[in-house]
Chains A and B, each alone.
Chain A
Amino acid sequence: MDNCFEIKDLRKVYFSGENEINALRSVNLNIPSGEVVVLLGASGSGKSTFLNIIGGIDQPSSGHVLFKGKDLSIISASDLTLFRRKNIGFVFQSYNLVPSLTAIENVALVTEICDHPMEPIKALEAIGLTERANHFPSQLSGGEQQRVAIARAIAKRPEVLLCDEPTGALDSETGSIVLQALLDVNIEFNTTCIIITHNASIADLAHRVIHFVDGQVSRVEVNARRKTPEQINW
């Protein structure tokens, strides 16, 4: 199986005042195409930083990220934009919806600029939010906003879905709807899904679980048997 991402000696240092914070210290990793991958780790262990860098929305301090053999760290800014537009669906930790657009318009914001998107309403349907389509973010609960964000990410049928705590704000029932939607996309379009979570039981859904400790990958597990969303224990 070919690799979706190959990560080589990836480092990220933040400077805040006089302090240096090593958010990532030499991460080496391969992520095969079409897998569901869960990232686990304590708060501050560098998961979000890692996800942002491989998604091309943050710059590494050093190291390389190869997406299907193409080195992201050496391509131009506009090519990086194109890369995101074509291949990556994001679900951000803080939703990041446009407050002045309704749920369906937030989805359309993305389908507008891709080649073979779903219909926005289909994407909302997939995460069970059709009746909220015309609500503004301020009229939605946190979980609902998160689901709109997911609809926005899957609507473009991306090569890769990057989800930062997609179920963090959800109850078990909606949580499993959302996870099912992600898995469906994975199966239907062979989308690689990389999901950050604090909920270790979600790891049972994954093909592969990557543990972060203090800016490094401590361990990679491959699940022999995966559970379905209904089976997991919230």
Chain B
Amino acid sequence: MIVTPLNRKLTRDLWNIKGLVIAIVLVMAAGIAIFVIMFGVLDSLRLTQSTYYDRYQFGDVFASLKRAPNSLESRIANIKGVSVSEVRVTFGVTLQMPSLDEPAVGKMISIPDGKEPRLNQLYLRSGRMVYPNETNAIVVDENFFNAHELVLGDKVMVVMNGRLRPLRVVGVALSPEYVYSVAPGAIMPDARRYAIMWTSRHQLEAAANMKGAFNDVSLKLNRGVCVADVKQSLDLLLEPYGGKNAYGRDEQLSNFFVDNELMQLESMGVIAPFVFLAVAAFLVNIVMSRQVAVQREQIGMLKAVGYSDKAIAFHFLQWVYILVFFASIIGLGLGSWMAMGMTKMYAEFFHFPILKYHFSVEVMIFAVASCSAAAMLGTLFSIRKAVNLPPAEAMRPESPEVFKRTLLEKMGFHRHLSFLSRIILRQIERRPLRVLLSITGMALALAILIFSYFMEDSMSYLMDVQYDLIQREDVNIAFAEPQSKTVLESVKAIPGVMAVEPMRTVPVRLTSGHINKNVAITALQSGSDLRRVINQQLRAEVLPDQGMVINERLAGLLNVNIGDALQVHLLEGSQTTLSIPVVALTKEYIGMGGYMELHVLSQLLDQPPKLNGALIRLDDNHSARVFQEIKRHPEIIGMNITSVLRQIFMDIMAENILKMVSINILFASLISFGVIYNTARIALSERGRELASLRVLGLTRKEVSYLLFGELGLVTLLAIPLGIYLGFLMIDAMAVSLDSELYRIPTYVSNQTLGLSTVIMLVCSLLSFYLVWYQVEKIDLVSAQKGVE
């Protein structure tokens, strides 16, 4: 850059307002950084996920069945569109872990003897694979391995076919199929209580009574093949062998979870940066337009001595370039650095064995460009205003101050106001647009604070509704086979069990029109207290003695309302299809399903009332003994402890969403401070000369400060309600975009969040005011009179 006088002016002007410059640069950098972080993390995780899946041959279509002879395998491989197929034996077991009172559940999966699996390959973290024909050796999933702090060579006690067998851990592995291991019937992954174990095919065939047969199929499809067609062909082939519904990746539990988590991150991650960037852009726009306005006289002079409009515009645009340049360096640098850290953290959270970074240049350009565009617009707009004036007029201080009696004064309100207060009111009424801009800026700062804090509120509200109002049992257990009601008596007899209620869950496919949805129907006894169905007002509903109650979100998906009938296809037992009316809707934030009264369901199933689960309330002092007892019952294949579920959910949230949230909070605070400090500083630079004159006339510093901060204070107060309103708007927008089948976000904002956000905003204000007040003290009365800023 050639050092022309204008360039010198540029650097000195920037240096003079360095506080302001730093504030703007930080705000812009924050806007850019959060953009780069969120998109960097999301893009990197997506890339990591897909690379992982590709490299380890994650299947496209999966199915399980009762038992089919190996001879069927070639027919499966010949299904049109299938490129690789693999059949396996899987076997559900329970495990007795010394560190757990209750039994853990496990799934044993066969791996081909002496060769790599063709699909769903394992990433061996440590140890080795199982040798062909090696007995009682397993490779376990790393999540489980770590959760129990196992070491290679440890023996794990596994109940197989009612017999306890010690299996030796020879290796630890990760599988694309079990990024998340979710036990059957559970809604959340629980690494401590669900083990995935791989062993040789030969071994497992023997243990599971599956000689020469298989019960699990995975397929990889050729590119571009229709998944639905393949699923249909596979179902057709497997049907005679007890084949359940084939499913694609979208319904594969682990992948479903990973996708869901990524989607959550995406919606969180996409809205926040846009909001932040918009706020930053808005701010830069205001600041630049005011900076230009302040320099109006100088612009007039430059024009008068022969500088062209273009040269003047370019001069001020250079400000923007410099601000954007520094903001970009900081924003992109900080953003990429934090994005890499966060990607790594998430990759560990998901147990991806590989890590791929992806920063899209488009995202970076977009972030930088939108900041620059906003800044340039603000600048050019004000420059245009300044250069359109004849220089003689521009050089005159912007003075024909047309003060009018304000509305309040016309209403006779002024009698109650001091002279200074009247000046404040007139100033506000004279420039309503400018005041509105200041209010909006501050309100946005408050809004993004509320928006950032609300996530935690929402999560704990969701937990409260789920675990205090709906799922009130201490423990629920699942039986391998449906039991008659008498089993409840024996459960109740266990010392420490205070209450027991029956539960029956049935997997079904609901159909309405051409929309299908696979969900579970939960049947409860009428008047069930341990599990309740709540309505939209969060009050418990008695299950009706006909029809079913479905989740309101599900009703929306299926496009049905109260009174409509649903086609319910049972996915077990008789596999029949029934038409059942929807009689009520229930509100649930987690999961999605339907409820029926136990007897109503039994009638439909044409059975005497049976149950496959029970809800239990425990005496806290005896829970360990109850768990021990339950462990000894082989017919009990699953157990969920509510407090553990709650903890897991909280942990996942804390690990996942709340980390994003804390980044948001960090940047939101930064931006709020930037916005407010800028507003105050600009007010000072606009008023500087006027305030100095008043000081010369004999007003005290206190009185002069009152003039400045009275207006700012009023702006701040007005910004609070608007900020809360804008915060709610943002929250609503996010709740809609975060809505998923796994859970929905209650738009609940606690008073604490409102209070805390407001306090942070006020603290930012006070701090800014203090910094500005410090500048008021320094107003040099003499030079202010000379017209030097």
Contacts and interface: CB of A to CB of B under 8 A. Distances in A.
B697 interface: no
A20 to B, nearest CB: 14
A105 interface: yes
Nearest to B11: A100
A152 B305 contact: yes
Contacts of B9: 98, 100-101, 105, 109
A59 interface: yes
Interface string A29-70: 000000000000000000000001001011100000000000
B301 A58 contact: no
A99 B787 CA distance: 9
Contacts of A78: 308-309
Nearest to B12: A100
Contacts of A101: 5, 8-9, 12
Contacts of A98: 5, 9, 298, 301
Contact of A84 (B13, B298, B304, B783): B304
B392 A57 contact: yes
A20 B8 CA distance: 42
Interface string B294-315: 0001101111111111010000
A142 interface: yes
Contacts of B304: 55, 57, 84, 90, 92, 96
Given A94-B395, A99-B789, A106-B5, A77 B309 contact: yes
A59 B780 CA distance: 36
Interface string B1-33: 000111011001100100000000000000000
Interface in B299-333: 300-309, 311
A49 B300 CA distance: 15
A8 interface: no
| Secondary structure type dominating chain B contacts | helix
A81 B307 contact: yes
B23 to A, nearest CB: 20
A108 interface: yes
A96 to B, nearest CB: 4
B306 A138 contact: no
Contacts of A105: 5, 8-9
A73 to B, nearest CB: 12
A16 B301 contact: no
A114 B306 CA distance: 9
A170 to B, nearest CB: 16
B746 interface: no
Contacts of A52: 390, 392
Given A113-B306, A138-B788, A142-B786, A57 B391 contact: yes
B393 interface: yes
Contacts of A132: none
B789 A81 contact: no
A79 B668 CA distance: 49
Contacts of B306: 81-82, 84-86, 88, 110, 113-114
A23 to B, nearest CB: 11
Interface centre among B9, B12, B303, B304 (most CB of A within 10 A): B304
A52 B305 CA distance: 12
B402 interface: yes
B303 A58 contact: no
A81 B308 contact: yes
Contact of B400 (A16, A55, A88, A142): A16
B13 A81 contact: no
Nearest to B387: A77
Nearest to A95: B787
A164 to B, nearest CB: 10
Contacts of B789: 99
Contacts of B5: 98, 101, 105-106, 108-109, 112
A137 B298 CA distance: 13
Nearest to B396: A94
Interface of A: 16-17, 52, 55, 57-59, 77-78, 81-82, 84-86, 88, 90, 92, 94, 96, 98-101, 105-106, 108-110, 112-114, 137-138, 142, 145, 152
Given A90-B304, A110-B306, A138-B788, 14 more contacts: A57-B304, A59-B390, A90-B305, A94-B787, A96-B298, A99-B788, A100-B8, A101-B8, A101-B9, A108-B4, A109-B302, A112-B4, A113-B306, A138-B786
8 contacts: A57-B303, A84-B306, A96-B297, A96-B395, A100-B16, A109-B9, A109-B305, A110-B305
Interface of B: 4-6, 8-9, 12-13, 16, 297-298, 300-309, 311, 390-393, 395, 400, 402, 780, 783, 786-789
Q: What 3 A-B pairs have minimum CB-CB distances, sorted nearest first?
A: A85-B306, A58-B392, A57-B391
